[in-house]
């Protein structure tokens, strides 16, 4: 391997860290903003927890989306070090543009578009099947997130159902879903990640009844029951304190899920370089991405948290819960399917859905239109810039 190759490896790694830092400072912040707005936790404490939880999520759940971004967006070619560096530079530049201008730049759109652009510039072919899967998921996110948030907020607003029932019920649903999330630290005979429910089923060897694994059902019920009883006791002691406790726990779970769903946007472009050309295990790349997310959360998140927490304080604790519940569900679904997603897209849709339950979305139609337009421009622009910038770099440097 030549000196030029190692220089490109160094540049690619630095751009990966920069992208991960940007994600840690921006995309992983919203989950704890409601808890800060409710005075359940301080800004610095939230930033510390965001870094730890998001980094843990990146290490244990980031592999599936990383593989999609690195290998499944383009057919007939492999991503070279220069192409990976170019794609990450384009994506990170879009992220920084969003930070300094205030425009809502979706990280998934920027990274996916940039990697498609450099891949096409390399001479690869479009992976239309993958694009259809990703595009369908992206289109379903707003109505799904908004719909779940609407139903959740409507349930919390019902006068005939006390909050001593609704809040513990939501906690039971979240706890039950937790048994099914896939983690790299849990072994599975057929894939790299397994869930708690699958591990128990494998260990106990439970039989199926009408196609239903009884061990999986039992574990789900047990976890749901624990979540229900824990929050129920908190709510009975003090309704507001119980709600804030659930809001804080939910924020932590969503931050963990955010790290798992976002780190692949930074590490995916380097999958070919680290996994094939350098022959390193996947965990090495995830450690790099998790380190960048941790640093970004600790260094950059406090400023954004202070700004977003004021917005969530205006929403109220119940609407904030309604916005975070679909964030957790959709993020984990995307991780399971290996689909890169924009966390801001999920949260914004959830906020709008929760607002509709109160009779107003709290977001103007003009702002929604501007946001959607900018998302589309981000996707198209990152493809075009990625394509052209790679051609420029490869021509100037005389390498690929």
**C-alpha angle 27/262/219, rounded to 5°?**
110
Q: Which of 99, 2, 82 is nearest to 269 (CA)?
A: 82
Q: How far is CA 276 from CA 271, 279, 281, in A?
A: 8, 5, 9
Domain residue ranges in the chain: 3-161+237-397
User: Cα Rg for the chain, rounded, in angstroms?
Assistant: 21
Could you give the CA distance from residue 162 to residue 165 in angstroms, rounded to a whole number? 6
Q: Convert the pLDDT of each residue in 166-193 to its tens digit.
A: 999 999 999 999 999 988 888 877 777 8
Could you give the CA distance from residue 50 to residue 295 in angstroms, rounded to a whole number? 10
Residue 281: how many CB atoms within 10 A of its CB?
10
Q: What is the DSSP letter of 347?
A: H
Q: Please state whether beta strands 125-126 and 74-75 pair in parallel, antiparallel, or not at all (unpaired).
A: antiparallel
Who's near 90: CB < 8 A, 6+ residues apart? Answer: 110, 114, 117, 118, 382, 385, 386, 389
| Tens digit of pLDDT at every position of the chain (400 positions) | 678 788 888 888 998 998 898 888 777 777 777 777 667 788 888 888 888 999 999 999 988 898 889 888 999 888 888 899 999 999 988 887 776 766 667 889 999 999 999 999 999 999 999 999 999 999 999 899 889 988 988 888 887 888 888 999 999 999 999 999 988 888 877 777 888 888 887 777 766 666 677 788 889 999 999 999 999 999 999 888 888 899 889 989 998 998 988 899 999 999 888 888 888 888 899 999 999 999 988 887 777 776 666 666 566 778 788 888 998 999 999 998 889 988 777 877 887 787 777 665 455 667 677 777 888 888 999 999 999 999 998 888 777 5
pTM score of the predicted model: 0.88
Runs of H (alpha helix) within the chain? 3-25, 33-37, 43-61, 63-67, 81-101, 107-121, 128-157, 163-178, 196-204, 214-237, 239-267, 271-272, 282-315, 317-337, 343-357, 365-397
Could you give the CA distance from residue 190 to residue 391 in angstroms, rounded to a whole number? 40
The pair phi, psi for residue 398, each rounded to 5°, is: 70, 25
Tokens 């022959």 correspond to what residue? 279
Could you give the CA distance from residue 131 to residue 108 in angstroms, rounded to a whole number? 13
């Amino acid at each position: 391997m030549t000196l030029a190759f190692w220089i490109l490896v160094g540049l690619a790694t630095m751009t990966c860290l920069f992208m991960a830092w940007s994600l840690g400072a921006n995309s992983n912040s919203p989950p704890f903003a409601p808890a800060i707005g409710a005075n359940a936790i301080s800004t610095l404490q939230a930033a510390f927890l965001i870094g730890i939880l998001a980094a843990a999520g990146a290490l244990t759940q980031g592999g599936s989306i990383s593989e999609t971004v690195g290998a499944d967006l383009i057919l007939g070619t492999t991503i070279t070090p220069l192409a990976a560096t170019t794609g990450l530079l384009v994506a990170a530049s879009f992220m920084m543009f969003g930070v300094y201008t205030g425009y809502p730049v979706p990280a998934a759109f920027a990274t996916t578009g940039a990697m498609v652009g450099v891949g096409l510039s390399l001479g690869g072919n479009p992976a239309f099947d993958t694009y259809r899967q990703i595009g369908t998921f992206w289109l379903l996110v707003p109505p799904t997130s908004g719909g779940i948030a609407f139903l959740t907020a409507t349930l919390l607003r019902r006068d005939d159902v006390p909050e001593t029932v609704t809040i513990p019920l939501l906690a039971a649903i979240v706890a039950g879903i937790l048994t099914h999330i896939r983690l790299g630290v849990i072994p599975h005979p057929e894939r790299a990640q397994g869930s708690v429910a699958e591990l128990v089923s494998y260990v106990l060897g439970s039989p199926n009844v009408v196609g239903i694994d009884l061990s999986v059902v039992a574990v789900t019920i047990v976890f749901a029951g624990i979540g229900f009883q824990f929050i129920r006791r908190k709510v009975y002691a003090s309704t507001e304190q119980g709600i804030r406790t659930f809001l804080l726990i939910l924020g932590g779970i969503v931050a963990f899920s955010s790290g798992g769903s976002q780190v692949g946007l930074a590490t995916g472009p380097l999958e070919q370089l680290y996994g094939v050309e350098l022959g390193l295990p996947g965990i090495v790349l995830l450690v790099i991405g998790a380190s960048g997310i941790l640093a970004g959360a600790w260094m950059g998140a406090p400023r954004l948290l202070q700004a977003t927490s004021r917005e969530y304080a205006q929403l109220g604790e119940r609407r904030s819960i309604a916005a975070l519940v679909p964030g957790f569900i959709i993020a984990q679904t995307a991780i399971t399917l290996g689909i890169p997603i924009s966390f801001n897209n999920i949260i914004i849709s959830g906020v709008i859905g929760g607002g509709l339950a109160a009779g107003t979305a709290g977001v103007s139609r003009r702002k929604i239109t501007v946001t959607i337009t900018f998302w589309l421009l981000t996707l198209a622009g990152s493809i075009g810039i990625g394509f052209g910038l790679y051609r420029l770099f490869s021509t100037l440097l005389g390498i690929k």
